[in-house]
Amino acid sequence: MRCALLGMALLPIAARAHTREGLPPAAPLWQWSTDPWVIGLLAISALLYARGVWRLWAVAGWGRGIGKAPVIAFTTGWLTLVIALVSPVDSLGGRLFSAHMLQHELLMVLAAPLLVLGRPLAAWTWAFGSKNRRRIGRAVQARWLVSTWSTLTEPVMAWCLHATVLWLWHVPALFTAALLHEGVHTLQHTTFLVSGLFFWWTALGGDPRIGRGTGVAVASLFTTMLHTAALGALLSLAPTPWYPPYLTTTAALGMDPLEDQQLGGLVMWVPAGLAYVIAALGLLGRMLTRQRA
């Protein structure tokens, strides 16, 4: 899973800033991104995963080692990344705050947990030959890497990291900087996805057969739902728009900037919050099923 975090983190790094130093609102809205870095990294990650699963199943048997459910989860998470970073959602995010919020929720609340459940570490490792697999295994056992991984995957640390990233980037000054400067926007998307991967790793544990403290995971999910809903409510109920760059771009599209912000807040408040609740209920249901067994 350490490799999964690093690999997936490269995708938003290749994404461009939405407004690109004042890109005019009249620019095409429904264009798909043709950034070669984004498309290339997405293609490489998918090909390595498919090759790894194919080789593993050829040795262990169809559906063994990595089950069909993780493959479906990874595929869905990968397609979610395509929607967030390549589809017109990306270009719309530079003009509409609500579209920008949708993009962020796709990265943190949908793509991240699905990628965790997809177990890409095992698949990507099996994409290489046996000698290279042993080398990868030795490399990830380096003391500094193990120590860093253990720290970042502590439930409290992952929760705090995810919450801090979410709230800091919605401070008007930082959010505006991300809209106007490519490097800042790259950092924003990277931290959203990486913090989301660490958070969902502590909640879901990568392999659904491994128990990682259901009570702690459920508490983490419910409290995250509460503080994200609070931020969504603040955005929805604010009397004035928070982010100046959207005043002109939103108005140029015939929408009221405040209503656009309210819609973006609702995206975080309701559907995103519901995702945390569904995940928590799923964990509780699995725990009860095991107890009956």
Instruction: For residues 182-189, give the mean pLDDT.
Output: 88
The larger pLDDT score, comparing residue 35 to residue 73, is at 73
Instruction: For residues 120-126, give the mean pLDDT.
Output: 87
Residue 131 has pLDDT above 50, yes or no: yes
Per-residue confidence (pLDDT) for residue 147, from 0 to 100: 86
Q: What does the pLDDT look like over 242-251, one tens digit per residue? A: 999 999 989 8
Mean residue pLDDT of the chain comes to: 85
Residue 87 has pLDDT above 70, yes or no: yes
pTM of the model: 0.85
284, 218 in Cβ contact below 8 A?
A: yes
Per-residue confidence (pLDDT) for residue 101, from 0 to 100: 95
Residue 287 has pLDDT above 50, yes or no: yes
For 65, phi then psi, to 5°, come to 85, -65
The larger pLDDT score, comparing residue 283 to residue 166, is at 166
Share of the chain above pLDDT 70, in %: 86
Residue 14 has pLDDT above 50, yes or no: no
Give the separation between CA 200 and CA 113, rounded to whole angstroms: 5
Instruction: For residues 284-288, give the mean pLDDT.
Output: 81
Confidence of residue 140 (pLDDT cuts 50, 70, 90): confident
Domain extent listing, the chain: 2-292
Per-residue confidence (pLDDT) for residue 207, from 0 to 100: 41
Residue 22 has pLDDT above 90, yes or no: no
**Number of C-beta neighbours around residue 236 at 10 A:** 17
CB-neighbour burial class of residue 1 (10 A; exposed 0-12, middle 13-18, buried 19+): buried
Instruction: For residues 156-168, give the mean pLDDT.
Output: 95
Instruction: For residues 178-193, give the mean pLDDT.
Output: 90
Buried/exposed 60-89: b ≥16 CB within 10 Å, e otherwise: eeeeebbeeebbebbeebbbbbbbbbbbeb
Q: What does the pLDDT look like over 226-277, one tens digit per residue? A: 999 999 999 999 999 999 999 998 988 888 999 999 999 999 999 888 999 9
Share of the chain above pLDDT 90, in %: 49
Per-residue confidence (pLDDT) for residue 291, from 0 to 100: 67
Q: Which of 4, 9, 6, 11 is nearest to 52 (CA)?
A: 4
Residue 284 has pLDDT above 50, yes or no: yes
Residue 100 has pLDDT above 70, yes or no: yes
